[in-house]
Amino acid sequence: MASQSIKHEKSAGKIDIPRILMYIALLGYTFLSLLPLYYMISSSLMTLGEVNAGLWYPKDIRVGTDISPCILYTTDTFVNDNGDRVTETRFVVDIPEEAAQVQKYGPRSDVRQDDIVRDERFRIPFFTNYCAAWEGANLGTYMWNTFRIVFITLAGLVVFCTMAAYAFARMEFPGKNLLFGIMLATLMVPEMVQQLPNFLLVTEIGNFFGNQGLNLCGAEVRNCWINNWPALTIPFMATPISIFLLRQHFATIPSELWDAARIDGAGHVRFLIQVVIPLSKGVLFVIILFAFIGAWNALAWPILVTSGDSWRPISYGLQSFLNDEGNLGHLRMAGSMITTLPLLILYAFTQRVFVEGISTSGLKG
Amino acid sequence: MTAQTVNQETAAPSFRKGIFNGRRGRHFRENLTAYLFLAPAAILIFTFGIFPIFYASYVSLYKWRIKQGEFRGIANYVHAMGDVAYVFLGAIAFFFLIAGVTSLIRTLKTARENKIPIQFPLTALLPGAVVVYGLVEILLSFITFFTQEGAIESGHAQVLGSVPIGLLAVIIGGVLSTAVYRWQHSQVAETPHKILPNFNTASIMTVIFLAGAFFVGTFTYQQLMATGQAPVVWVKVRAILQGLILLGLAYVIWNWGMKQFSNLKLIVALVGAAVFIGGGVYLISIWPVVTAGSDPDFYLSLSVTVFYAIGAVPAQLLTAMVLAYLLFQDIKGKAFFRVVFFIPYIAPTVAGAAIFDVLFSLRPTSIANSLMQAITRNPELQLSWLKEPGHAIAILGQAFGLESAGAWEYGPSLALIVIILFSIWRYVGYDTVIFLAGLGNIPHVLYEAAEIDGANRWQVFRHITFPLLSPTTFFLSVISVIGTFKAFNSIWVLRDTAALGTSDTASVYFFETFQRGARFGYASSMAMVLFVIILSLTIIQNRLAEKRVFYG
């Protein structure tokens, strides 16, 4: 660095060809890496015809002619099965003609459409595809599911991993190095090997608890683990990589602090909660961030252990939507865009922590 | 700490007895707290991280379609790999044997260095064996605990192991080993200032490895004999071993040659290369014969994985290294570039793969096809991309007007090329960030010294940056290669039945067999094979890196 700046001063004022080439290379790769994302955004705003024609940008941003706008907020008045006159205010989506095949979410199935007197309050043109994808892929439910899964996982992960990491960093007990070595060795085991047995284990554990009458989720089903939160969260509540990161950080906390706390009469739990954790906010934040991204990307395991919409997370939801709408490129891109946005927003706010977290730990999430 | 200990010792009244009081009591309490702190994480990691490996190997021995079926021995492995399975399992037994013997020799060496009689570590083997026996009993009873309902009644699963016997054995073994240790210590202590190294862990490891070698070896041998095909299999096994020995020999010659002086070096290296090529050609030529009767899709998925790794990893690392090197120079907008390059890695895998699915659609008007039409100036051109099982080199060659390329029948399919492109696009930013961290660790003094010596940019890169970056490069290459074996989400989205499995890597084929085919036993045997492959790749890369990587 220092040498480079010296060089720079010497050559100030002249045209530095290597430097220009450097910028060209960097900008070139920037262009390449953003190109797919640009295409996702632009085609999510196109009509199906425009996507299929291979356009690079939406040409036809007209409202009214061949793109019917998306209704977001309406008041419907109709007569229901009991003969009562009902007025309902709700969000509905009126999708464009090309996407009629995905109209599983039409106005109402139990009422003939002609009988509805609709007062449309609020229309957003142009975001048609987003509305259709949001409704068609049920993305709202899946996002909510993902948030619930992340929340439960983190509640366990933070507590268990902090405790284990603290024991490894600050306590002396027989077999410490052996246990730590075994834990690090499990980092080498690919998930693929664990998936199948874990599926069987989770099923059997669920059956076991069900037979004992200990249903964690309080549901009426016999096996409460499969297709419910325990299968999706409990196996991920202690990850070796989190314990390792936390331990490495805890080991840097000076032992004088421990001595001082000890003299003041604090035990391990008090010291952990009042001194260690406040000093480790950064690492904990990185762990939370990666747990969130991991849950957002989880696909294989949810395919195995979920069978309905009640706990299916976002990646699986998006993937089945992509399968269903195989030919509707504009809707697929809109769905992908909706799924990508939260992570992009998160990244925009946390990018420094993120990049630093990755470069210090080398996590491959 | 010691000062405090003394104070508290004197302060504590000596008449208060009990396991929680006094110096020993506090020790006990401290240990108990530590184990309580560890317990939840340890239980979870054991149940969902370590135990599954044993359970997978148990499942792989059965016919298991959702419900546990009959015991099949190693038939699942033979079904997947053909008769190579015997070589594979033999290699595992051999590896265990080597590990056990190495562990034993290392222990004996420690004993000799400390001038301790050689029977000391050997006597530690006895309690070690008792402990290992207890652990195996407990593990087997765990497996029994997780058997499916009705499996034992129907006679498919047996009740294996017993917790009381296991615990008893572990306790007896522990007591025995403590007793042996005390006794040895009393012997050694006669010569003053002697510390006896603890042989217990080492002896347990030795017993585990040797017992593993014995078990896997004899089990494979019995299974082989039971098939009644032993002579036929033996011929194939011998052929494979000959090829492998040639490859090993080539490696030894090459290594030896690299240590010689200049003239000899070249000759020996050439001999080594010749032997290597000979071994490779021999193996390839006998391959169709020795794998006859195996699952062709399994080998296809393995070759797809290898092509995927070869296609993605070097390109991805090279691009990332160049980008990181450029970003490390004194340029403006560093932070901007770093943030932007990282975005593909942030985007959800499924969404990112969906973009590539649309970009590389088979329509003549799709983005990829229209770009290809513009480049080749052939408006008629229409490639099927993700739905194309044909060899990429042949198809792209023909697209660029090389008619003779059509005869090329090797290499990845065009569908796999799209997946490789996706992988490169996604991981370059991540690799760049890691490379940047690695570059930041190189001391500036070296650059200044090079500046004084008058080195140009290329020389600085070649002789300072590149060698000092090698640990980072090594780390990234290991996790990227392992990553290609693990990759699932993107391929699951991008695969297409029309590509006839030429884009299914091993992990995807495993998942397909497991989830769609519901062939649990067969799928776990494949998972075990992949596990062993990944492990040995890691070990080989580590060994190579020891020689090649420069850790400043």
Please report whether residue B65 resides in a domain: no
Q: Report the C-alpha gap between A192 and A198 in whole angstroms.
A: 10
- Residue A343 touches chain B, beta carbons under 8 Å: yes
Amino acid code (one letter) for B115: K
Choose among A167, A205, A336: nearest Cβ to B354.
A336
The answer to whether the Cβ–Cβ distance between A171 and B37 falls below 8 Å is yes
Please report whether residue A349 resides in a domain: yes
- Both A83 and A174 in one domain: the answer is no
Which tens digits make up the pLDDT trace of B361-396? 888 888 899 999 998 888 888 888 888 888 888 888
Instruction: Report chain B's C-alpha Rg in angstroms.
Output: 29
- Domain span at residue B155 reads 74-227
More confident residue, A214 or A271: A271
| Closest of B421, B376, B366, B371 to residue B398, by C-alpha | B376
Predicted TM-score (pTM) of this structure: 0.86
Which of B7, B28, B37, B329 has the highest number of chain A CBs within 10 A, making it the mutation to test binding with A?
B37
- Both B271 and B327 in one domain: the answer is no
Dihedral pair phi/psi, residue B324, rounded to 5°: -65, -40
Residues 215-274 of A with CB under 8 A from B: 234-235, 237-238, 240, 243, 259, 262-263, 268
Structure tokens at A348: 């925009």
Find the CATH number of the domain harbouring B510.
Answer: 1.10.3720.10
- Residue B518 touches chain A, beta carbons under 8 Å: no
Which tens digits make up the pLDDT trace of A265-301? 888 899 999 999 999 988 899 899 888 999 999 999 9
**Residue B14's pLDDT band (boundaries 50, 70, 90)?**
very low
- Both B250 and B319 in one domain: the answer is no
Say yes or no to pLDDT of B295 above 80.
Answer: yes
Please report whether residue A191 resides in a domain: yes
Which of B318, B346, B508 has the highest number of chain A CBs within 10 A, making it the mutation to test binding with A?
B346
The answer to whether the Cβ–Cβ distance between A336 and B355 falls below 8 Å is yes
CB B88 within 8 A of CB B240: no
Mean of pLDDT values over A314-331: 88
Find the CATH number of the domain harbouring A268.
Answer: 1.10.3720.10
- Both A113 and A172 in one domain: the answer is no
Give the H or E element holding residue A188: none
User: What's the confidence (pLDDT) of residue A190?
Assistant: 85
Q: In DSSP terms, which residues pair with A118 in a beta bridge? A: A76
Which residues lie below 8 Å from residue B109, measured CB to CB, with a gap of 6+? none
Q: DSSP state, A115?
A: G
- Both A180 and A80 in one domain: the answer is no
- Residue B4 touches chain A, beta carbons under 8 Å: yes
- Both B223 and B358 in one domain: the answer is no
Q: What spatial distance separates the first Cα and last Cα of chain A, rounded to whole Å?
A: 31
User: What's the confidence (pLDDT) of residue A122?
Assistant: 63
- Domain span at residue A87 reads 70-126
**Chain B: nearest CA to A108, how far in angstroms?**
30
Choose among B44, B350, B434: nearest Cβ to A160.
B44
Domain count along chain A: 2
User: What's the confidence (pLDDT) of residue B139?
Assistant: 93
CB B82 within 8 A of CB B294: yes
Which residues lie below 8 Å from residue A11, measured CB to CB, with a gap of 6+? none
Please report whether residue A61 resides in a domain: no
**Residue B148's pLDDT band (boundaries 50, 70, 90)?**
confident
Between A99-108, B117-126, B489-498, the lowest mean confidence (pLDDT) is in: A99-108
Partners of residue A333 in chain B, C-beta under 8 Å = 354-355, 358
**Residue B542's pLDDT band (boundaries 50, 70, 90)?**
confident
Partners of residue B56 in chain A, C-beta under 8 Å = 193-194, 196-197
Q: Report the C-alpha gap between B201 and B549 in whole angstroms.
A: 31
Q: What is the percent of chain B where pLDDT is above 90?
A: 38
User: What's the confidence (pLDDT) of residue A65?
Assistant: 40
More confident residue, B159 or B214: B214
- Residue A166 touches chain B, beta carbons under 8 Å: yes
User: What's the confidence (pLDDT) of residue B158?
Assistant: 82
The answer to whether the Cβ–Cβ distance between A197 and B56 falls below 8 Å is yes
Total CB pairs under 8 A between chain A and B:
300
Which of B20, B45, B460, B531 has the highest number of chain A CBs within 10 A, making it the mutation to test binding with A?
B45
More confident residue, B11 or A86: A86
The answer to whether the Cβ–Cβ distance between B346 and A347 falls below 8 Å is yes
| Closest of B487, B521, B493 to residue B507, by C-alpha | B487
User: What's the confidence (pLDDT) of residue B3?
Assistant: 42
Residues 169-208 of A with CB under 8 A from B: 171-174, 176, 178-179, 182-183, 186, 188-198, 200-201, 203-205, 207
- Both B17 and B166 in one domain: the answer is no
- Both A214 and A282 in one domain: the answer is yes
User: What's the confidence (pLDDT) of residue A105?
Assistant: 37
Nearest CA in chain A to B45: A238
User: What's the confidence (pLDDT) of residue A112?
Assistant: 57
CA dihedral (B300, B356, B423, B420) in degrees, to 10, reads 40
- Both A298 and A237 in one domain: the answer is yes
User: What's the confidence (pLDDT) of residue A340?
Assistant: 95
Please report whether residue A356 resides in a domain: yes
Chain position carrying tokens 């990944």: B534
Which of A9, A186, A187, A193 has the highest number of chain B CBs within 10 A, making it the mutation to test binding with B?
A193
The answer to whether the Cβ–Cβ distance between A359 and B358 falls below 8 Å is no
Say yes or no to pLDDT of A68 above 70.
Answer: no
User: What's the confidence (pLDDT) of residue B194?
Assistant: 61
- Both A349 and A241 in one domain: the answer is yes
Average pLDDT along chain A: 81
Classify residue A258 by burial, with Cβ atoms within 10 Å: 0-12, 13-18, 19+: middle
- Both B5 and B54 in one domain: the answer is yes
Give the H or E element holding residue A216: none
Which tens digits make up the pLDDT trace of A17-45? 888 888 999 999 999 999 999 999 998 88
Please report whether residue A198 resides in a domain: yes
**Chain A: nearest CA to B227, how far in angstroms?**
28
Partners of residue A160 in chain B, C-beta under 8 Å = 40-41, 44
User: What's the confidence (pLDDT) of residue A114?
Assistant: 61
Which tens digits make up the pLDDT trace of B81-103? 988 899 999 999 999 999 999 99
Dihedral pair phi/psi, residue B63, rounded to 5°: -80, 120
Q: Report the C-alpha gap between A253 and B162 in whole angstroms.
A: 44
- Both B496 and B468 in one domain: the answer is yes
- Most confidently modeled range among A89-98, A153-162, B177-186: A153-162
| Closest of B425, B377, B436, B432 to residue B401, by C-alpha | B377
Say yes or no to pLDDT of B6 above 90.
Answer: no
Say yes or no to pLDDT of B204 above 70.
Answer: yes
- Residue B94 touches chain A, beta carbons under 8 Å: no
- Both A115 and A148 in one domain: the answer is no
Between A105-119, B183-197, B419-433, the lowest mean confidence (pLDDT) is in: A105-119
Q: Which of B16, B32, B59 is the last residue of a domain?
A: B59
Mean of pLDDT values over B119-132: 86
Say yes or no to pLDDT of A121 above 50.
Answer: yes
The answer to whether the Cβ–Cβ distance between A29 and B319 falls below 8 Å is yes
Give the H or E element holding residue A78: strand A70-79
Residues 447-486 of B with CB under 8 A from A: 447-448, 450-451, 457, 475, 479, 482-483, 485-486
User: What's the confidence (pLDDT) of residue A35?
Assistant: 94
- Residue A26 touches chain B, beta carbons under 8 Å: yes
Please report whether residue B66 resides in a domain: no
List, as own/partner pairs, every contact residues B115-119 make where C-beta atoms lie below 8 angstroms and the sequence separation is at least 24, other chains included: B116/B184, B116/B188, B116/B196, B116/B197
**Chain B: nearest CA to A79, how far in angstroms?**
42
Q: Angle B525-B530-B531 (CA atoms, 0-180°, nearest 5)?
A: 95
Partners of residue B437 in chain A, C-beta under 8 Å = 359-360
User: How many beta carbons lie within 10 A of that of residue A146, not counting itself?
Assistant: 25
- Both B203 and B300 in one domain: the answer is no
Q: Which of B294, B315, B341 is the last residue of a domain?
A: B294
Give the H or E element holding residue A326: none
**Chain A: nearest CA to B102, how far in angstroms?**
19
**Chain A: nearest CA to B149, how far in angstroms?**
8
Please report whether residue A49 resides in a domain: no
More confident residue, B119 or B173: B173
SS3 A36: helix
- Most confidently modeled range among A343-352, B232-241, B311-320: B311-320
Which residues lie below 8 Å from residue B137, measured CB to CB, with a gap of 6+? B161, B162, B163, B165, B166, B169
Say yes or no to pLDDT of B550 above 70.
Answer: no
Mean of pLDDT values over B154-168: 87
Q: Kindly list the distances between the CA atom of residue A145 and the CA atoms of A222, A300, B285, in Å, as whole numbers in the listed order.
A: 21, 16, 53
User: What's the confidence (pLDDT) of residue B15?
Assistant: 47
User: What's the confidence (pLDDT) of residue B416?
Assistant: 94
- Both B347 and B454 in one domain: the answer is yes
Which of B7, B24, B44, B356 has the highest number of chain A CBs within 10 A, making it the mutation to test binding with A?
B44
Say yes or no to pLDDT of A124 above 80.
Answer: no
- Both B312 and B418 in one domain: the answer is yes
Say yes or no to pLDDT of B552 above 50.
Answer: no
Domain count along chain B: 4
Say yes or no to pLDDT of A101 above 70.
Answer: no
The count of residues in chain B is 552
Q: Which of A103, A126, A149 is the last residue of a domain?
A: A126
Q: Angle B172-B176-B179 (CA atoms, 0-180°, nearest 5)?
A: 140
- Both B286 and B309 in one domain: the answer is no
**Residue B418's pLDDT band (boundaries 50, 70, 90)?**
very high
**Chain B: nearest CA to A92, how far in angstroms?**
25
Please report whether residue B508 resides in a domain: yes
Q: Please, where are the H alpha helices in A240-328?
A: 240-250, 255-263, 268-271, 277-279, 281-297, 300-305, 314-324
Residues 74-113 of A with CB under 8 A from B: none
- Both A263 and A343 in one domain: the answer is yes
Which tens digits make up the pLDDT trace of B492-510? 999 988 888 899 999 999 9
- Both A160 and A119 in one domain: the answer is no
User: What's the confidence (pLDDT) of residue A126?
Assistant: 57
Please report whether residue A83 resides in a domain: yes
Which residues lie below 8 Å from residue B376, measured CB to CB, with a gap of 6+? B399, B400, B401
Chain position carrying tokens 């012997």: B187
The answer to whether the Cβ–Cβ distance between B40 and A238 falls below 8 Å is yes
- Both B128 and B52 in one domain: the answer is no
**Chain B: nearest CA to A272, how far in angstroms?**
11
Q: What is the complex's ipTM, to 2 decimals? A: 0.88
CB B176 within 8 A of CB B126: yes
- Both A221 and A335 in one domain: the answer is yes
Mean of pLDDT values over B119-134: 87
Q: What is the percent of chain A where pLDDT is above 70?
A: 80
The answer to whether the Cβ–Cβ distance between A240 and B45 falls below 8 Å is yes
- Both B111 and B22 in one domain: the answer is no
Average pLDDT along chain B: 86
